[in-house]
Structure 1
Amino acid sequence: MKPEDVGLSKDLQFFKPESIFRENPRVTYTTIYKCDNFSLCIFFLPSKGVIPLHNHPGMTVFSKLLLGQMHIKSYDWVDPDVSHNLLKQPSQLRLAKLKANKVFTSPCDTSVLYPKTGGNIHEFTAITPCAVLDVIGPPYSKDDGRDCSYYRDHLYTAFPNGEIAELKEENESYGWLEEIEMPENSQMDGIEYLGPPIIETSL
């Protein structure tokens, strides 16, 4: 899918490098389509805009950076028994494996996040103004146990009790995730979708 397919262009003022945004830039989003099975949304991140570390419980997500450049960090959970054995005491921390920690520049491949693999817990930080298309299935639903949770990540070597935990795998990195309240910078503004209309057809 290309930006033009949803009515976007790098020539729009929002995506101009010289665009100036306030110190705490606010993310906006538009919903293209939503049903019981999936939702189709675009997130607009101004330069330095952040979508904090969050999860997608029981969901599969197709994520496509349409325009711009952003840093993406993502994790997947490690077996809870491993976390417990390493901490050796009750804790709100849980061990996760780092799946991505790099900069993406459009055009690039679509990322696919599965319920337990692919970087289901992720964070976006815009380097330039960005547009990200997400297809989320099934969509978030508190009633169905698919509420969004937010996390703060800690260096793997920082726990337990300042000691270096002994879990070593070649070319693998880990972090401790702590569930937190919704961060202030996670608030988003919804805007109307003005791109090409979605036409439903019967099979």
Structure 2
Amino acid sequence: MVFSSLRRYFSMRHQSSKVQALYEHCKTILSPSGSPPPSSQALQKLSSILDTIQPADVGLKEEIADDDRGHGFFGANALSRLARWAQPITYVDIHECDSFTMCIFCFPTSSVIPLHDHPGMTVFSKLLYGSLHVKAYDWVEPPCIIESKEPGYAQVRLAKLAVDKVLNAPCDTSVLYPKHGGNLHCFTAVTPCAMLDILTPPYREEEGRRCTYYHDYPYSAFSVANAPICDGEEEEYAWLTELESPSDLYMRQGVYAGPAIQL
């Protein structure tokens, strides 16, 4: 019993060291305004720390496709098979401050976070387990905006495809920046999966960092004179229009079950 307790103690210390190291590095290099930006070396170190984190380090149990509850750390329950497939995305807040948000998303198979943006923000995403399809755009600069032909939408804006692929864990940390790397993106779970995110600075509506949702139209849906693209590249572009917050975004709050962070 004593040796079992010691093994559990040192295991938790190992887990805590990874999450604690991530928190301490974020606290050191990130600021509430995002300015001045961290050095490339500091950002690389942040990605390197994230690369080492496994599901167990943040209190998660990996889900498998044949037993898809989408619960992550919640484990087995008495739900029917049909009810299990109707489970929401689970959002877990690990830590939030003026400089950054550290959080986890647990996805059931086929669940979707619709196309949305991260205005003025940098986001580090580590896929902890499973497979996740990512489709992401960056705005074309200078802005190319035209009036929409769809009733109820005032305008559409041209964006360029930055990412369109399936991530399979284990894989390297993904990073998007305020103006490149796919700042506008959507996620679709191919299998049960979980994503650990660092968002900096965090969303703050009063500071102009409000999450906006979009619908993307193929480039051929609209025409504009002197559009800054070449023939044959049309599939690399799309027209985006703002949406109200989607009513079908099914998400619930979870409780962090990993090792506590020492502030």
Match of 1:41 in 2: 103
Report the identity percentage.
50
User: Deviations for 1:75-122, whole angstroms, at most 9, x for unmatched residues?
Assistant: 0000244445xx9xx951000010011111101111111111110000
Indicate the SS of the match to 2:56.
helix
Offset at residue 187 of structure 1 (A): 4.1
For 2:202 and 2:231, how far apart are their aligned partners in 1? 34
For 2:180 and 2:102, how far apart are their aligned partners in 1? 21
For 2:119 and 2:216, how far apart are their aligned partners in 1? 18
Match of 1:106 in 2: 169
Contact persistence 1:17–1:128 (CA under 8 A): no
Equivalent position amino acid for 1:189 in 2: R
Offset at residue 26 of structure 1 (A): 1.7
The alignment's TM-score, normalised by the length of structure 1, stands at: 0.85
Match of 2:222 in 1: 159
Contact persistence 1:150–1:179 (CA under 8 A): yes
Indicate the SS of the match to 2:57.
helix
For 2:99 and 2:250, how far apart are their aligned partners in 1? 25
User: Deviations for 1:49-97, whole angstroms, at most 9, x for unmatched residues?
Assistant: 100000001111001111110110000000244445xx9xx95100001
Equivalent position amino acid for 2:59 in 1: G
Match of 1:27 in 2: 89
Offset at residue 18 of structure 1 (A): 2.8
The structure in which a higher percent of residues are helix is: 2
Equivalent position amino acid for 2:112 in 1: V
Question: RMSD over aligned Cα, in angstroms?
Answer: 2.6
Match of 2:117 in 1: 55
C-alpha change, 1:100 and 1:199, in structure 2 (3 Å) is same
Offset at residue 159 of structure 1 (A): 1.1
Structure 1 gap ranges (5+):
none
C-alpha change, 1:81 and 1:55, in structure 2 (3 Å) is closer
Match of 1:2 in 2: 54
Offset at residue 25 of structure 1 (A): 4.2
Contact persistence 1:50–1:185 (CA under 8 A): no
Higher RCO structure, 1 or 2 (CA under 8 Å, sep 6+): 1
Offset at residue 21 of structure 1 (A): 5.5
Between Structure 1 and Structure 2, how many residues are aligned? Answer: 192
Match of 2:155 in 1: 92
Matched, 1:66 2:118: no
**What are the within-5 Å matches in structure 2 for residues 134-149 of structure 1?**
134-149=197-212
Moved more, 113-122 or 183-192: 183-192
C-alpha change, 1:21 and 1:136, in structure 2 (3 Å) is farther
